[in-house]
Structure 1
């Protein structure tokens, strides 16, 4: 096909009809090409359109909540978090329910990093506003807490998350949780997601391990699981993947009962540890079914070409993953 087309292009006597016939032939041949199953299963990185980084004419709002959390010295720490409410959220309309994404910052950052606070409009807020306004995703609530303070440990944050944060948020706002009881939080798990960047990704894996009863969707970005030690996703990928699979099996969940959408860049410092863990998870098909189609699988991994360990990349991974949450 390429040789024939090249001959036509190089033939100075070629007619427009010949060009059109060759173009039609090429289009027909391309249409018959089929992706391999492996290629079709991949979730490919898509950059955020520039228009999504501009202010939307339907902006959401940011609110802050304060609460107390137990620390390791038998005391209580004062903490805060921020809540993104989509455009049109009406506190008086209890009939409209919202899914909730809990999104964690990275190491050395805090709860102000992602959204800033009331009145601010950082990049991710603009992306969310535009995705909702353009119908890419259903309106949702996004919560940005911090693992600093309290027990001050990503491995222990899951306790504060389910004892303090989720009950606070989901009884104040219109969510699918009927109450703050553990039974009601379990019953509404399909409407709850947890994700995070870097150390927030480490926190996400711990949330999967400890709070699988309360969250159906997980978004670990640029960070492996440290349940078997720091960087164990790279140094102990088989053991780490098997540990994660066992968590789900022991809890009685089947693959369609939970979803893991992970991402990083190939130049990200987290890539060498995260990719071996992901590659091993792919082999455990009784727990992790790899596919970009959420009707076929429960797990995928996006790799950003040239992506580094930075929020300007992470915001784009979130943009790519958000449409697959709460399906």
Structure 2
């Protein structure tokens, strides 16, 4: 399919606009999401994040955010990268406790600070306060959270989100497994006893990857290419582009078949992974996610009601407010036996 035709199809599925902060987002789908149309796909009961989660938690319940640096290569050029690391409350006082870890990736035009804000304990960023409150309430296990960026540097940021796709794929295939994971998990107390490929793979059930928008598209790439390193996946408001841009909508059957074949090649069992997919009910990307999920369920040897869940944030748009609601529900499902 030509790029012009692909863009024409996309324009029929979603409209494109800008938020007040300048972030690219998808408008309402051409067909509204209804309970009847998504009944087959819904497996999680979606609740709204409590309002008090937007406020700072008590001092003793606040996690600390730190910054790390690492080096990566993209198209034969070396880049110095930064990422933020959230350490849950109590991390510093117990030198022997090991933690599960979640890598969380932003959407187009955003950065490594978009989820956690800034370093220290007093960030009021929506995801930072969400993590503090959800862990304090014992709804989420104490978890280290890493927020990198897929942009090699700021010069790669453009308003054309489709141009980010090669960066998303390169991040999943190279930067994440070879550069970011070894640095993070050598420095912090995760379940990885060693940071070579064998050591990281041995701790995969204690590791999750999630993302919003283009970060969700990257999440599907991570599922496809790094299944040996991650057990849990949280794609929020984004389909798989492994076949084509917006492939979940324009080529859902081919997309699902390719993902299923990757599972067959890797010889993993249905209990070896869990996908917690979600989208806002008024988010145009639901027009790509829902067809893909339905087609994935046509491969029951790989995808089941237990390892592939899809939920709707009623009325939610393509923004971090809805993403926080989706995360509030999904994070409680991570690292549970």
State the TM-score, normalized to the length of structure 2: 0.81
Partners of 2:184 and 2:288 in 1: CA distance: 33
Among 66, 74, 77, the residue aligned to 1:75: 77
In structure 2, what is the equivalent of residue 304 of structure 1?
313
Deviations 1:37-96 (A, max 9, x none): x77972121001112222111100100001111121x22111100000001112760x20
Say whether residues 1:167 and 2:173 are aligned partners.
Answer: no
In structure 2, what is the equivalent of residue 276 of structure 1?
291
CA contact (8 A) 2:74 2:170 kept: no
Say whether residues 1:148 and 2:157 are aligned partners.
Answer: no
State the TM-score, normalized to the length of structure 1: 0.83
Gaps of 5+ in 1: 1-37, 291-296
Report which stretch shifted further, 190-199 or 126-135: 126-135
Partners of 2:40 and 2:225 in 1: CA distance: 33
Say whether residues 1:65 and 2:68 are aligned partners.
Answer: yes
Q: Which has the larger radius of gyration?
A: 1
Among 134, 137, 154, the residue aligned to 2:137: 134
Among 255, 260, 264, the residue aligned to 1:245: 260
Gaps of 5+ in 2: 1-38, 157-165
SS at match of 1:277: helix
Among 326, 330, 334, the residue aligned to 1:321: 330
Partners of 1:189 and 1:114 in 2: CA distance: 23
Partners of 1:182 and 1:214 in 2: CA distance: 9
Structure 1 runs (4+) greater than 6 angstroms displaced: 38-41
Partners of 2:87 and 2:139 in 1: CA distance: 16
Distance 1:100 1:53, change over 3 A: same
SS at match of 1:283: coil
CA contact (8 A) 1:202 1:226 kept: yes
Between 1 and 2, higher relative CO (CA 8 Å, sep ≥ 6) is seen in 2
Partners of 2:42 and 2:320 in 1: CA distance: 26
Kindly tell me the number of residue pairs found equivalent between the two proteins: 282
